[in-house]
Amino acid sequence: YATNDSYILVPYYLDPTIPAHTLVINRNTGSLVLSDRESLVPNSNTEALTIFGIFGVIKLLSGEYLIVITGRERIGRLGKHDIFQADQFRILPFAKNNFRLSGQQAQDEKRYLSLVESLLKSGAYYFSYTYDLTHSLQRQAQLGDLGSKPLWQRADDRFFWNRYLQSKLINFTVNNPDQDLSDFILPVIFGFVSISNARINNRDIIFSLISRRSRHRAGTRFFSRGIDDEGNVSNFNETEQLVLLDPPRDGRIITSLEGKIKLSYVQTRGSVPVCWAQITNIKYTPRLQIMDSPNKNEAVRRHFDEQTKIYGKQILVHLANKTGYEYPMGEAYEKAVKQLDDPRLNFYHFDFHHECRKMQWDRIQILIDSIEEELIQQSYFHSEESENNNVVYKSQTSVVRTNCMDCLDRTNVVQSALAKWMLTQQLRSVGVLSNKERIEEIGDFMERFRNVWADNADAISLPYSGSGAMKTDYTRTGKRTKQGAAMDLQSAITRYFMNNFMDGSRQDAYDLLLGNYEVELGVSPFIDNRSFQVKIIPQILVACIIFFLFLYMIPKSEFAYLIRLIMVIDFIAITFLIRYIVVHGTDFVNWPCLVPPSYRHYQWNNATSHQKIRKTRRHSDSEHGEKID
């Protein structure tokens, strides 16, 4: 309920015996109070609103805002747990108006709200009231006493996407033990969830795929690369493939699938864990930079220490090209791993484009064959529910960490191939497949499998690159097609425009929602300090192009010669303007305003730049690869 002075949240429980407390948020002071439900007396000035959870609280210039989930879609059921996707939100201000803000501040407030709304609308958010979506099945089984704690207390901090927005409620609960708001603190993941029923060899199963995007170092394609000093890498995602089924029925009648047998296989992806960047400069291929940071070795060590602590040994699969533009990345990655000299890390460089050239994508099997022994040793998670407890028969002891340049297109193809291989092993172990059968032979299921993995690829790609994933025609059909190549061209064009002209604002949205930037009164971060000519040139270019098209469409007349002359002059102007934009490309890129990248002062091809850069020539394509000390 919303009143002039407060927001009153009344929980609804399916079990009426559960004692319910009402959360009252004072709009004037921002204070939180738990009270009895009976104390609420709605009146004519009260607005009633059905919500499905609190996404969090964010502070902007005019004060705090309550973000609530107002729409949800039930994705499916994992065992006894319903899983939902949040698809509608509402942002409720604590302040009754913005009168105390100046004109610039009011304008900035609208900009901040627009950033929040854009990420809420474009993101894929999933939650459950009873199931911990932040943890894999194996980690859930290892929680011990922590497993009985409220969801927010046992959630994996990496994948608790709205952790920062829930800080107000969490801090209040921690500081006021007698005022426990745990029932109102809802962990939400950002990623992908698919749950579907299938039938294989007369056995009913639930097939699910869950991808969890890390909230650390999250962002967009060219503004979030590599590793930070804490060991967090960009675009880190954990993908878990689950299969739930029941033991053979032995004549018993079971009306629904309970999912007593649980199978899980986890893979990870993340940016190459070295300090690197690709500086957007209007050109299609940005200049590649590998930076020498004084803390680079420690950052890499922190990254893999955390990864091995969580997942065990690391099978590192690097899919970038071994020649040309991408070569320095493989070299830097392999060097970083060798310097660690850690027996828990095994590095494999599989040149995807070379090995699978001319659409021979079945050659991914070469990679699987090369790591097959490690995959067998790695195993997977397998548990079964009995009457009294949950028995764990197998645990996954390592993980395949796959990456290409973006950790998107090539990574998706390889991860789906590895998941398919492991699924065969899992279903053989529980008797769904015979020892000689492979999951590829089950045509109906494979169509579902491919589509789910392709949908997952798109869901991971869109928030990072601005477009769906490439190469999904192979993921969906098992074949590379010319139509798929045409779709990839469309995605490439979309990415170019998004990455150069829109990703700065998208990065701002991530930084604002995740707490990397906290709003304070002061100088506006959105003030455009570029020169007048830089601001006006794109507008002049558009006007010249429109004028050229207008002249082109004029019917022939006695002024044809004059029109052609003007068109030539206009064309020369267009050429000059485009040339200027290309030469000064970094000035025309849409850069983040809230947390500008640390490398922005390296203006590679900007005439105003006087940074001295040491270039390291490596190969014939060295104009694309440079190293910064």
Q: What is the pLDDT of residues 16-38, one digit of tens each?
A: 666 678 999 999 999 999 987 65
Indicate the residue type of 256: S
C-alpha closest to that of 274 among 258, 259, 288: 288
Structure tokens at 54: 């609190």
pLDDT grade, residue 388 (50/70/90)? confident
pLDDT grade, residue 283 (50/70/90)? confident
Identify whether the C-beta of residue 62 lies closer than 8 Å to the C-beta of residue 73: no
Q: Which residue has the tokens 């002209």?
A: 501
pLDDT greater at residue 467 or residue 135? 135
DSSP H helices in 514-618 = 532-552, 560-583
pLDDT grade, residue 628 (50/70/90)? very low
Mean pLDDT value across residues 236-262: 85
pLDDT grade, residue 90 (50/70/90)? very high
Q: Is the pLDDT of residue 423 over 60?
A: yes
Structure tokens at 402: 């796959």
Indicate the residue type of 328: P
Cross-strand bridge partners of residue 68: 54, 90
Q: Is the pLDDT of residue 607 over 80?
A: no
d(CA 356, CA 377): 27
Q: CB 31: neighbour CB atoms within 10 A? A: 11
Parallel/antiparallel/unpaired status of strands 390-394 and 398-403: unpaired
Q: Is the pLDDT of residue 626 over 50?
A: no
Residue 284: its pLDDT value, please? Answer: 85
Q: What is the pLDDT of residues 536-577, one digit of tens each?
A: 999 999 999 999 999 988 887 778 889 999 999 999 999 999
Identify whether the C-beta of residue 94 lies closer than 8 Å to the C-beta of residue 27: yes
d(CA 124, CA 194): 12
pLDDT greater at residue 433 or residue 621? 433
pLDDT grade, residue 161 (50/70/90)? very high
In this prediction the pTM is 0.90
Residue 435: its pLDDT value, please? Answer: 94
Q: Is the pLDDT of residue 606 over 70?
A: no
Centroid of chain to Cα 315: 22
Q: CB 302: neighbour CB atoms within 10 A? A: 18
pLDDT grade, residue 614 (50/70/90)? very low
C-alpha closest to that of 132 among 116, 146, 115: 146
C-alpha closest to that of 468 among 489, 447, 448: 489
Q: What is the pLDDT of residues 101-132, one digit of tens each?
A: 999 999 999 999 999 999 999 879 999 999 99
Q: Is the pLDDT of residue 149 over 90?
A: yes
Residue 620: its pLDDT value, please? Answer: 33
Identify whether the C-beta of residue 341 lies closer than 8 Å to the C-beta of residue 350: no
- ∠ CA 332-334-338, nearest 5°, is 115
Residue 561: its pLDDT value, please? Answer: 86
DSSP string, 365-407: HHHHHHHHHHHHHH--EEEEE-SS-EEEEE---EEEEEE-SSS
3-state class (DSSP) for residue 304: helix
Spans of all domains in the chain: 6-184, 191-513, 532-628
pLDDT grade, residue 61 (50/70/90)? very high
Mean pLDDT value across residues 215-223: 95
Q: Is the pLDDT of residue 219 over 90?
A: yes
Q: What is the pLDDT of residues 337-362, one digit of tens each?
A: 999 999 999 999 999 999 998 778 78
**Mean predicted lDDT score pLDDT of the chain:** 90
Cross-strand bridge partners of residue 71: 88
d(CA 178, CA 199): 49
Q: What is the pLDDT of residues 497-510, one digit of tens each?
A: 888 888 999 999 99
Residue 610: its pLDDT value, please? Answer: 31
Mean pLDDT value across residues 268-277: 97
Q: What percent of the chain has pLDDT over 90?
A: 74
Mean pLDDT value across residues 508-515: 98
